[in-house]
Amino acid sequence: MNRIKIIYIILIAIVAVFELYTFRKIFHPNVSDQYKLYYIDKKLYSWSHGQGIQYNIGSELDYASIERFLSRSGWYRAKNAPKWSKGEVSSIYFKTSNIEKYKGNILLNLKTFGMQSIRVTLNGISIGNKKIDSKNIDTVFNFKPEILYENKINTLQFNFPNLSNKHNTKDSAISLHKLKIN
């Protein structure tokens, strides 16, 4: 074998290794959870300048501060206003730590359009079903703290199986004003 063939084989091997490395990076990117949710999975509502989706136990999130936790689909975009659900499913994403300190309740302050059935799941596990008809109400959903993921993405999902909306042309069920997880 002459020297030129050996150089070509070495170059081809280098390019092949680089391509394999690139394909691995495509399928297993080394990025933050928030970056992955926003840019890659396209699930997160707002980039929020990289503030992150870390939730601190007992923090009360109002409609302005909750924006960075909302899913991209499932919520109407409104600056400095309560967040109205959009469609039959709306989600909130968050990471947390110290799960042993959680008591296991989610407090919501919300408003509904007429009578609404709400099914809430946390990480795919049902934590309650309620029928709510209100102008402004505080309601609580209880859960077992061990279903929380520590330092991983948790998903709080609201399902509206019987989306009832006779007074509004939008497909909204609830307006989320405040959220607190203890």
Residues 6 and 75 in one domain: no
Residue at token pair 């309620």:
130
pLDDT at 98: 86
Residues 21 and 42 in one domain: no
* pLDDT for 115 beyond 60: yes
* pLDDT for 148 beyond 90: yes
Please count the structural domains in the chain: 2
pLDDT at 1: 66
Enclosing H/E stretch for 3: helix 3-27
Task: Name the residue range of residue 143's domain.
Answer: 33-181
* pLDDT for 160 beyond 60: yes
The pTM of this model reads: 0.79
Nearest CA to 145 out of 87, 103, 114, 180 is that of 103
Residues 7 and 49 in one domain: no
Distance of CA 172 to the CA centre of its chain: 18
Q: What is the mean pLDDT of the chain?
A: 85
Residues 61 and 143 in one domain: yes
Residues 12 and 51 in one domain: no
pLDDT single digits (tens) 33-74: 878 888 888 888 777 766 678 888 888 988 777 877 888 888
Instruction: Check which CATH number belongs to the domain holding 45 and give it.
Output: 2.60.120.260
Q: Which amino acid is at 132?
A: I
| Token reading at 132 | 């709510």
Residues 81 and 132 in one domain: yes
Residues 72 and 102 in one domain: yes
Q: Which amino acid is at 46?
A: S
Sheet holding 89-94, edge to edge: 89-94, 154-159, 116-122, 125-132
How many helices and strands, by DSSP H and E, does the chain display? Answer: 2, 9
Give SS3 for 81.
coil
Residues 19 and 57 in one domain: no
pLDDT at 40: 85
Banded model confidence at residue 170, pLDDT cuts 50, 70, 90: low
Banded model confidence at residue 11, pLDDT cuts 50, 70, 90: very high
